[in-house]
Structure 1
Amino acid sequence: MSPHRRNPVLAFLRQREIPVAGALVLLVLVTFAVNPLFLSPQSVKDLMLNATIMIILAVGQAIVVITRNVDLSVGSIVGLVAFGTGSIFDVAPGLPIPVVFLIGLVFGAVLGGINGLLVSVARVPALVVTLGTLYIYRGILASWAGSTQYFSGDMPSAFGALSVDTLLGIPYITIMAIVVVIVAAVVLGRTRGGRDLYAIGSDPAAAQLFGIPVTRRILTAFLASGALAGLAGVLYASRYNSVGALTGDGLELNVVAAVVVGGVAIFGGSGTVVGAGIGAVLLSTITSSLTATRVDKFWQQAIVGVLILAAIIVDRVVTLRNIRKLRVSEARDV
């Protein structure tokens, strides 16, 4: 084994999350240099709040993408759960907030489970399934909500306070997002079930031969994605002034972009939820940065597109380099 491979510093720097984190730090520093108010206490709080929903959704999406699938219905699930949260408080204003969170998680898990059953049991491609449920769930929301909107004033003040109150300067809902990232990272990295997801993404057929319960694991991944989208939907109702038929519309594309930019391979088998979370923060910060520097928001889409292409190219280059090294090592052994 070469000295470079034993060097923990070099090993750390080779992590996929490092370039993304570096880009985030550089973006913040450049924006601060142009507009010092960008890092004022209130601006920093707003940055964290703006990234919270995206972080949670990116974690759920990363779990699915690691298995070589994708969930395009998360934006619609967020909309359904967010509007459902407003409906619950309208019908039962005295309902304990933890119960509302539990209902949101279960509601999201059921919607995600429908995706998972169609993908894992019926063997329908995830892209087709979730594209269909994206429109089905959105149609249900449009029919359910109609022109009705629930505003922050219609919900308990303690619920809205989750997005206002802080602990050590960090909003409560952002702390929830951080906990989600930590728990998901531990599960994926330290449990057999988590490692199975990577094996499935790397080679589903080989995973099946090795006795990995592929069907159950993929279903679990979609359940997790749906549950986290449900959590994001409840937090959305707390974070924003109103929820209605258009809540969460188009959110799924930004979530997929955050996951890819965060270093999760779109073809599955590699990446981390930490990287996905950093990617979510980076994309959210880009919007705030452009606003702070008075750059036309049109450029946000172009920048995100460039980041996605760059992430895919880097992933491909790294994959080819690893394959080349493996072949060289095998040739030497022979």
Structure 2
Amino acid sequence: MLKRLLSSRETLLFAAIAALLGLIATRFPGFVTPSSLAGVLNDTSPLILLAIGQMIVILTKCIDLSVAANLALTGMVVAMLNTALPGLPMVFILAVAIGLGTLLGMFNGILVWKLNIPPIVVTLGTMTIFRGVIFLISDGKWVNSHEMSAAFKALPRGVFAGLPMLSWVAIAAVILFTVVMTRTTLGRSFYAVGGNPHAATYTGINVGKTQFWAFTISGALAGLTGYLWVSRYAVAYVDIAGGFELDVVAACVIGGISIAGGLGTVGGAVLGALFLGVIKNALPVVNISPFWQLAISGSAIIIAVALNAQASRKKGRIILKSAEQAA
């Protein structure tokens, strides 16, 4: 049991984050204070939300490159809605954000399911479409803080038990989807479809429909994050969260979610996001250009994919060896 725990990706990643924090603390002790770490968690919360959705999609042997564009379009729509109708209840704003994000995710899922188009092609196309729609509806203009109502900006910034509500939303999502992935039929279907789609089909699981629901969940989380993003930063524009999809994929892969599908956990995605969050917040502290974050994210993806591939090859050799011994 102990050996298995020590060899798990989550344990190793947790240890890497702890070592990274310890290294930073030797030069900047203030970075590891409770208030500072709470700030890191809050800054990383949007990435955690999107990484959970991306994890589910990747588990089904798909990928969603449109999550950041979904976030941006949903954020722009609710920001413009709030500007036009500042008295609109926040419950309605949240419903619009989640609903629109869900519809955009469903659009991806339908194209993959019914037309059998490769997911990377679908989401690369919809990513561009969503960004184009933002420009069309906004005419390229920004929605700034003074145009947003106080209630619209207040929700993610409200503090409960020492943590901003944005962090609590991310924590709630982690708990909810941990239960979904480990205790529900739908969660087990995601793993089955990614692990062996042919076997899943024989057991009565509709592979395309399961992938559709994965994209739908990813879209819903992106829509929710869209509102939280624009309300927290109090600005909406065409290129909001530009390139953020790289961080989302990086968080998943670093967290041990296999690009080949069928392998990964919510905890791994969260730890992968926190690993990148610590790096992103630490770079300015140690006087390293934030532009290095892209290089670090890309390098982390390559290393993590290489480790996943190595682990898969080892498992394959063990199976073959066992078969030979049995013969």
TM-score bucket of the superposed structures, by smaller chain: over 0.9
The separation in 2 between residues aligned to 1:62 and 1:170, in whole angstroms, is: 25
* Counterpart position of 2:314: 321
Identify the residue that residue 237 of structure 1 maps to in structure 2: 230
Report what 1:294 is aligned to: 287
Q: Which residue of 1 aligns with 2:275?
A: 282
Alignment RMSD, CA only? 1.6
Q: How many residues align?
A: 327
Q: Kindly provide the amino acid, as one letter, of the partner of residue 138 in structure 1.
A: R
Alpha-carbon distance between aligned partners in 2 of 1:31 and 1:159, rounded to the nearest angstrom: 36
Q: Is the 8 A contact 2:82 2:152 kept in 1?
A: no
User: What TM-score do the two structures reach when normalised by structure 1?
Assistant: 0.93
1:199 corresponds to which residue? 192
After TM superposition, list the pairs within 5 Å mapping 1:209-288 onto structure 2: 209-288=202-281
Counterpart code for 1:207: A
- Tell me the amino acid that sits aligned with residue 166 of structure 1: V
CA drift of 1:73 comes to 0.6
Tell me by how many angstroms 1:98 deviates. 2.0
Q: Does 1:87 align with 2:62?
A: no
Q: 2:10: which partner in 1?
A: 17
Work out whether 1:176 is the aligned partner of 2:154. Answer: no
Whether 2:103 is the aligned partner of 1:132: answer no
1:41 is displaced (CA, Å) by 4.9
Query: Contact conserved, 1:16 with 1:271, CA < 8 A, in 2?
Result: no
CA–CA separation in structure 2 for the residues paired with 1:301 and 1:22: 23
Q: Structure 1 residue 33: deviation in Å?
A: 1.5
- In structure 2, runs of 5+ residues without a counterpart are none
Partners in 2 of 1:15 and 1:45 — Cα distance? 26
The offset of 1:87, in angstroms, is 1.2
Distance 1:94 1:49 in 2: 27
Q: Which amino acid aligns with 1:298?
A: F
Query: 2: CA distance between counterparts of 1:236 and 1:115?
Result: 22
Alignment-derived partner of residue 76 in structure 1: 69
Moved more, 223-232 or 273-282: 273-282
Within 1, Cα distance between the matches of 2:38 and 2:157? 9
Q: Quote how far apart the aligned CAs of 1:328 are.
A: 3.1
Shift of 1:42: 4.5
Q: What amino acid is aligned across from residue 134 of structure 2 in structure 1? A: L
* Matched residue, 1:3: none
Alignment partners' CA distance in 1, 2:326 and 2:184: 32
Instruction: State the one-letter code of the partner of 2:287.
Output: R
% identical equivalent positions: 36
SS state at 1:271 partner: coil
Q: Confirm or deny: 8 A CA contact 2:83 2:149 kept in the other structure.
A: no
For 1:102 and 1:116, the matched residues in 2 are separated by 21
